[in-house]
Amino acid sequence: MSSHFAKQVFPRRNRGATPRGALFIYQPAYLGIDTRGKAVYLPLMYRNVLLGGEPGSGKSVALGNIVSHAALCTDVDLVLIDGKLVELLPYAPVAKEFVGNNINQALKVLRGLQAEMDARYLHLARTGAKKITSKDEFRATLLAIDELAYFSVTVGTPEQQKEFVTLVRDLVARGRAAGIIVVAATQRPSADIVPTSLRDLFSYRIAFRCTTDSSSDIILGTGWAKEGYSAKQISPDALGIGLLLAEGGIPRRFKTAFLTDLHVTKLVRRAAYFRRAAA
């Protein structure tokens, strides 16, 4: 590594100080651009995100953008669960927990996160606060799950699948104020794969290309296709184009930013430096 590069990527600074260029989870994450070329940002703190769409439509790329933002933030721990193993693996060096296609391990990690959430609520109750803030001693946690359906219907026993869904539902339902952000991707969040009681808790929904209006409505919520907002209208070659629905808004068409493998490798190296320097 040349000394010039070393200076740029790993500038000298005091241990414990926030390194220059590091991000904060309280800042919104950059997702891509909308149809007018305007940048699309997604506030993550106190929110949960559900990504859906048919195979190869761009879910993992979008999830990667969110995880990349969080990786560069020094105030958030990453907990990554990836049924396909390879999508989130590049971020494993900066993750607090990384789980591949192993439901036992996934359950263990989720139980730990649930216990942590309960401890945080106890802290909030003691201090009279309503939610974790940037001034708290607790760091935020980003739980990213790719291939949710793999754990909810494909592997493990019915009891394990049920426990997995129950734990995720609890983290989505109660995690927000405790500083736990859940971002989950699945091909078709129909009731058999993602129970409606869980799906409806996500405050942000992103629908990538779908084959039917009803699949699009399953992700965004019933009625949007009739109003003219359907991810079925996204053409099959429009990779990375999706409809983003935020609480109380209308779906916004956008295209995700695309990070190559080399971008991700460099980004993770930088994130590792930020995290070491801020530790």
Ligand X SMILES: Nc1ncnc2c1ncn2[C@@H]1O[C@H](COP(=O)(O)OP(=O)(O)OP(=O)(O)O)[C@@H](O)[C@H]1O
Q: Which residues of the shown chain bind ligand X in the complex (CB under 6 A)?
A: 53, 55-61, 187, 208, 239-240, 255-256, 258
Closer of 48 and 57 to ligand X (Cβ)? 57
Quick one: what does residue 228 bind among Mg ion, ligand X, none, with the CB cut-off 5 to 8 Å set by partner type? none
Please give the backbone phi and psi of residue 57, each rounded to the nearest 5 degrees, phi first.
Answer: -90, -15
Which residue's Cβ has the minimum distance to Mg ion?
Answer: 60
Shortest Å, Cβ 82 to ligand X = 10
> In a 10 Å sphere around its CB, with 0-12 CB exposed, 13-18 middle and 19+ buried, how is residue 45 labelled?
buried
Quick one: what does residue 56 bind among Mg ion, ligand X, none, with the CB cut-off 5 to 8 Å set by partner type? ligand X
3-state secondary structure string, 149-185?
HHHHHHCCCHHHHHHHHHHHHHHHHHCCCCCEEEEEE
Closer of 57 and 161 to ligand X (Cβ)? 57
Separation in Å, CA 178 to CA 46, 82, 83: 8, 23, 26
**In sequence order, which residues have a C-beta less than 8 Å from that of residue 177 and are 6 or more positions away?**
46, 121, 124, 130, 131, 132
Closer of 59 and 275 to ligand X (Cβ)? 59
Tell me how many helices (H) and strands (E) the chain has. Answer: 8, 10
Closer of 58 and 251 to ligand X (Cβ)? 58
For residues 279 and 249, what is the distance between their CA atoms, to the nearest angstrom?
Answer: 38
Contact code string over 37-76 relative to Mg ion, x by CB under 5 A: ----------------------xx----------------
Tell me the number of residues near Mg ion by CB under 5 A. 2
What tokens were used for 150?
A: 């793999």
Closer of 73 and 145 to Mg ion (Cβ)? 145
Shortest Å, Cβ 59 to ligand X = 3
Closer of 69 and 275 to ligand X (Cβ)? 69
In 3D space, the residue among 203, 249, 199 whose CA is nearest the CA of residue 224 turns out to be 249
Quick one: what does residue 273 bind among Mg ion, ligand X, none, with the CB cut-off 5 to 8 Å set by partner type? none
Closer of 60 and 74 to Mg ion (Cβ)? 60
Quick one: what does residue 57 bind among ligand X, Mg ion, none, with the CB cut-off 5 to 8 Å set by partner type? ligand X
* 8 Å CB contact between 209 and 253: no
- Distance between the two ends of the chain, CA-based, in angstroms? 24
For residues 77 and 97, what is the distance between their CA atoms, to the nearest angstrom?
Answer: 9
**Contacts with Mg ion, residue ranges (CB under 5 A):** 59-60
